[in-house]
Amino acid sequence: MDHEDRRTVLEAVLAKHPDGLISAIDENGLFVPMPASVPMTTQRVITGRASALQLVTAEDRVVVIDAWTRAGKTGVANALVHPEADPNQTVRLHFIDVRAQHGVFVGLLTDFAGLAGFGQRLSIGEIAPKSSAVRKDAVAVITSVDVATPKMLGWTEEELLGRRTLELVHPDDHQRAIESWMDMLAAPGGTRRVRLRHQHRKGHYLWLEITNHNLLNDPEHACVVAEMVDISDEMAAQEALRANEQLLRRLTEALPLGVLQIDSDRRVIYQNERAVEIFGLALDEAIGEAVVADADRPALRAALNRALADGGDADLECGYGGDRLCHVSVRPLTAPSGDVTGAVLCVADVTEAARLRAELTHHATYDALTGCLNRASIMAATTNYLADAGAPVGAGGPGRSGGVAAIFIDLNRFKEINDTLGHAAGDDLLIYVASALRGAIRDTDLLGRLGGDEFLIVARDVPGLDEAAHLGEQLTAHLSTCGLELAGRWVNVQASIGVAWAAAGRTDVDALIARADEAMYQAKRQRTGPLGLVVSPAQAAA
């Protein structure tokens, strides 16, 4: 949401809730003085609290943290919470990021109609103390409290005195409380520390860290002194962290991708099930190079080094598991200091996608019947040959000697074969001729089918027209020996052949092929036997 939309939302919420309780909040989540620019009407400013976490019950602090995080990302968030002032009810807490206009976040509590005196109770009051001390006897009955304890727990001094502290402890924490107490009693003069939830008089629970000092054998005290510190905010933050970690793990398990986290020593500290299926690594095992194909190990090593040593991202494809292919994204993890602490690897099996990509590339490049380059591919390759011809060594090319020859082949009597012997016989002839041509050219020569019964051979590193003519003569001699049986009838290969040659930079692909095509038609007109060959004169210098 952009800044203007956030301003509109703030004005709409204030107009709708004139009885709302409002606060100004800095980037750290702490309440600050309300700027005069905020367009309040009859709303009351929350006082006596340091942050929104102190407005709600301990159980809802994770909800507040989540809403605050969302507001920081999107600009606006709200959530239903149980107010600390009345835990049995719910109110709505809004966060709106209007730092662009007012320099603060605005927090707003609304929807508490029917809660008598709620606004007064929340907007007036002191902050509860975070530490206190009580004295207890050998069976954990409270014998005295300091002035902070009633303010922290909400119980009056009279309600606390003579009460066994276990009555205040959350039932789920009873066993831990008893074990810590018995361990403390067994060590006269010793100290034991334990974290327990204690019930506030309003019904919610506070997390307290309790340090029990065993002074029962000390004549001056003859009691247990318990120092209590409210750690609810810390525990709420830890709970939020655990919830986020659980959410992240659940998300990674639901992904069709493999996710690994490694430390700076490349040891696996987390992986989802898909990652185990792909790589088969165990926790605490170092990610070695054996998980990928031999040819891809240097690339994986470089990607890990880039992430762990330099903090750089890396993406690569690796073979694994014999004939499988995966895409690996490596992203470094850094500490607040900027030091790289490890990396996350996201692994996707792309075997089928790569296979489909290769098939599509093949279909887009080659003629389906003969396996020759199709018209678009042979023309593009010829363009590259013409651009590369004659490039000197060290000038960006491999060093060429001479120009490019184009040999245009058109089969004679092909229509007659199709009409008399059938199209299947015609296809067999095309396949046979393509194979024959492939066997007659050099490894660096290109063979393409332009369409129908027309083929094109492109040869580079041809010094001149005489050498191009020699290639045409060799091809003609080879085809003169070729023939096959079609539909019970022996058929010799018959063709008209045109040859053209061009030096580097003297012509373009269309002009070169047109000259070879023209020479082929001249051969067709002059042909007196099964095969005819005409060589186009060299193009005049530009």
Residue 119: what pLDDT?
Answer: 57
3-123 and 256-353 share one fold: yes
The mean pLDDT value for 380-400 works out to 63
**Rounded to an integer, what distance in angstroms lies between the CA atom of residue 236 and that of residue 229?**
15
Q: Hey, is 395 helix, strand or coil?
A: coil
Q: Please tell me which residue, 437 or 398, carries the higher pLDDT value.
A: 437
Structural contact between residues 384 and 377, judged by C-beta atoms closer than 8 angstroms = no
Q: Which residue has the higher pLDDT, 531 or 134?
A: 134
Q: What would be the CATH architecture of the domain defined by 131-235?
A: 2-Layer Sandwich (3.30)
Structural fold of domain 366-535: Alpha-Beta Plaits (3.30.70)
Report pLDDT digits (tens) over 279-323: 777 777 878 766 788 888 889 889 999 999 989 999 998 888 778
8 A C-beta contact, residue 296 and residue 318 = yes
Domain boundaries, the chain: 3-123, 131-235, 256-353, 366-535
CATH code matching the domain that covers 3-123, chosen among 3.40.50, 1.10.10, 2.70.50, 3.30.450: 3.30.450
Q: How confident is the model at residue 388 (pLDDT cuts 50, 70, 90)?
A: confident
Q: Provide the residue type at 380 as one letter.
A: A
The predicted pLDDT at position 35 comes to: 92
Which ranges of 47-87 does DSSP label H, i.e. alpha helix?
A: 61-74
The answer to whether the CB of 529 falls within 8 A of the CB of 492 is no
Q: Exposed e or buried b for every residue in 26-58, given b needs 16+ CB within 10 A?
A: eeebebeebeeebebeebbebeebebbbbbbbb
pLDDT value, residue 122 = 54
Q: Round the CA-based radius of gyration of the chain to a whole number and report it.
A: 42
**Rounded to whole angstroms, what are the CA distances from 54 to 46, 82, 84, 317?**
11, 11, 7, 51
Given this model, what pLDDT does residue 240 score?
79
Query: For the residues 247-255, what does the mean pLDDT come to?
Result: 78
Cβ density class 342-369: b for 16+ within 10 Å, e for less: bbbbbbbbbeeebeeeeeeeeeeebbee
> Nearest 5 degrees, angle CA 332-CA 294-CA 355?
85
Q: Residue 532 is encoded by which pair of tokens? A: 């005819």
Q: What percent of the chain has pLDDT over 90?
A: 56
Q: What is the average per-residue pLDDT within 512-523?
A: 93
Q: Write out pLDDT tens, residues 448-471.
A: 999 999 999 999 999 999 999 999
372 compared with 127, residue with greater pLDDT: 372
Q: Are 19 and 104 in contact (CB under 8 A)?
A: no
Using pLDDT thresholds of 50, 70 and 90, give the confidence band for residue 254.
Answer: confident
Q: Sign (positive/negative) of CA torsion 283, 284, 287, 288?
A: negative
Q: What are phi and psi of 449, to 5 degrees?
A: -110, 120
In whole angstroms, what is the distance from residue 83 CA to residue 92 CA? 9
**pLDDT, position 351:** 84
Phi, psi of 488 (to 5 degrees): 80, 10
- In DSSP notation, 362-377 reads HHHHB-TTT-SB-HHH
Q: Which residue has better confidence, 441 or 395?
A: 441
Q: Where are the alpha helices (DSSP H) in 223-296?
A: 232-254, 273-279
140-144, 407-411, 532-536 — which is least confidently predicted?
532-536
For the domain spanning 256-353, the CATH number is 3.30.450.20
453: number of Cβ within 10 Å = 20
Furthest C-alpha separation in the chain: 133
Q: Determine the Cα–Cα distance for residues 530 and 476; give it in Å rounded to an integer.
A: 10
- Strands 105-110 and 21-25 turn out to be antiparallel
pTM across the whole model: 0.46
Dist. CA 199–CA 373, nearest whole Å: 81
Q: Tokens in use for 333?
A: 């993890």
Contacts for 163 with CB less than 8 Å, ≥ 6 apart: 141, 142
Print the SS3 string covering 354-423: HHHHHHHHHHHHECCCCCCECHHHHHHHHHHHHHHCCCCECCCECCCCCEEEEEEEEECCHHHHHHHHCH
Q: Return the pLDDT at 394.
A: 37
Give the pLDDT of residue 540. 47
Q: What is the pLDDT of residue 116?
A: 53
How distant, in Å, are the alpha carbons of 100, 406, 437, 532 from that of 409? 73, 10, 10, 10
Better-predicted residue by pLDDT, 539 or 528:
528
Assign 484 a pLDDT band (cuts: 50, 70, 90).
very high
Look at residue 396 in the predicted model and tell me its pLDDT.
40
- Confidence at residue 289, expressed as pLDDT on a 0 to 100 scale: 65
**Predicted confidence band of residue 274 (pLDDT cuts 50, 70, 90):** confident
CA-based nearest residue to 258, from 277, 233, 281, 239: 277
Contacts of 533 (CB under 8 A, 6+ apart): 472, 473, 476, 497, 498, 499, 523
Quick: pLDDT tens for 95-133.
999 999 999 999 999 987 655 555 555 544 455 788 899
Which pLDDT tens digit goes with each residue over 424-444?
A: 999 999 999 999 999 999 988
